[in-house]
């Protein structure tokens, strides 16, 4: 695997989830396939809960890429299928965390995602 700028960000966010937020590595999947509107896409990182359902979706961008509404729209489309509780969009320098309000079909921004506590 080539260490592209986006891959560097992905490796650092995985390290953050494991070391700072205490998520077990066994619950973290990289480039998990998801079908959206009959197209096969891949999530950068997908964290599952202990029941095997999606808990966190992470979208990683290279540090040179500004985080825009388009990045959130991309992860929100994935989440229509996956129904994860939390979304993270990061370029390694700027991080956005959100919790899903599935009832109202929106997300609410947070200061951080919660620590692992299943």
Can you tell me whether residue 66 is helix, strand or coil?
A: coil
Give me the CATH number covering residue 17.
3.90.320.10
Rounded to an integer, what distance in angstroms lies between the CA atom of residue 62 and that of residue 42? 16
Q: Is 118 within the bounds of a domain?
A: no
Contacts of 40 (CB under 8 A, 6+ apart): 33, 34
Query: How confident is the prediction along the chain (118 residues), in pLDDT tens digits per residue?
Result: 678 999 999 999 999 999 999 999 999 999 887 776 777 778 899 999 999 999 999 999 999 999 988 888 888 888 888 889 999 999 999 999 999 887 887 889 999 999 998 7
Q: Is 95 within the bounds of a domain?
A: yes
Q: Is 28 within the bounds of a domain?
A: yes
- Sole residue written with tokens 């029941």: 51
> Any idea what DSSP says for residue 114?
P
Q: Is 116 within the bounds of a domain?
A: no
Q: Is 115 within the bounds of a domain?
A: no
Split into its structural domains, the chain has a count of 1
**Which structural domain, as residue segments, surrounds residue 25?**
5-110
Rounded to an integer, what distance in angstroms lies between the CA atom of residue 83 and that of residue 36? 12
- Sole residue written with tokens 């919790």: 99
What's the whole-model pTM score? 0.89
């Amino acid at each position: 695997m080539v260490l592209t700028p986006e891959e560097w960000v992905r490796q650092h966010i995985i390290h953050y989830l494991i070391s700072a937020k205490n998520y077990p590595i066994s619950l973290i999947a990289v480039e998990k396939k998801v079908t959206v509107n009959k197209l096969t896409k891949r999530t950068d990182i997908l964290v599952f809960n202990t029941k095997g359902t999606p808990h966190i979706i992470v979208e990683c961008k290279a540090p040179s890429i500004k985080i825009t509404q388009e990045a959130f729209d991309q992860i929100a489309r994935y989440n229509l299928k996956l129904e994860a509780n939390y979304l993270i969009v990061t370029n390694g320098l700027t991080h956005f965390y959100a919790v899903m309000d599935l009832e109202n079909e929106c997300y609410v921004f947070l200061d951080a995602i919660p620590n692992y506590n299943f």
